[in-house]
């Protein structure tokens, strides 16, 4: 029985798509672990220090004067309590800033320090 070209092509297409998706997810996982390792190495937070405790320290250094000592918002900045966004999204905001509203902290805090800040913000829920 001769298999039509359309069916053979569909099998090849699904195979290629699955292969690319698996390769993407594998590469992303590898990249993620590599970034986490690098961030840990260059962190300002002492290795033994609790992540959220380090984040609290960074919060009072850089965030509290706008967002308030209790993180419940200031005159020009919103409350950071009960944020309804993911940790990765919080990290993106800290790293990228918000145009005309909040500066980027990418130069001041590396990935691990940002993760510490996010860990602290998540304790405020």
How far is Cα of residue 74 from the mean position of the Cα atoms in its chain? 24
First CA to last CA distance, the chain: 63
Q: Return the residue matching tokens 């602290």.
A: 120
Among 50, 61, 69, 96, binds another protein (CB under 8 A): 96
Q: What angle do CA 35, 40, 43 make, to 5 degrees?
A: 115
Interface residue with another protein among 93, 108, 122, 124 (CB under 8 A) is 93
Number of residues that bind another protein (CB under 8 A): 42
Contact pattern from residue 52 through residue 91 relative to another protein, giving x for each residue in contact according to CB under 8 A and a dash for the rest: --------------------------------xxxxxx--
d(CA 119, CA 49): 13
Other Cβ atoms closer than 10 A to 78: 15
For position 29 contacting another protein by CB under 8 A, the verdict is yes
Residues forming the site for another protein (CB under 8 A): 4-6, 8-10, 12-14, 16-18, 20-21, 24-25, 27-33, 35-36, 84-89, 92-93, 96-99, 101-102, 104, 106, 111
């Amino acid at each position: 029985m001769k298999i039509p070209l359309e069916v053979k092509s569909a099998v090849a297409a699904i195979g290629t798509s699955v292969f690319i998706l698996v390769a993407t997810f594998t590469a992303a996982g590898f990249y993620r672990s590599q970034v986490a390792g690098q961030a840990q190495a260059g962190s300002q937070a002492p290795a033994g220090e609790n992540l959220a405790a380090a984040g609290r320290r960074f919060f009072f250094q850089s965030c509290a004067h706008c967002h308030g000592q209790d993180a419940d918002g200031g005159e020009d900045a919103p409350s950071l309590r009960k944020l309804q966004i993911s940790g990765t999204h919080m990290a993106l905001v800290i790293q990228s800033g918000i145009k005309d509203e909040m500066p980027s902290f990418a130069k001041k805090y590396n990935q691990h320090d940002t993760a510490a800040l996010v860990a602290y913000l998540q304790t405020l829920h």
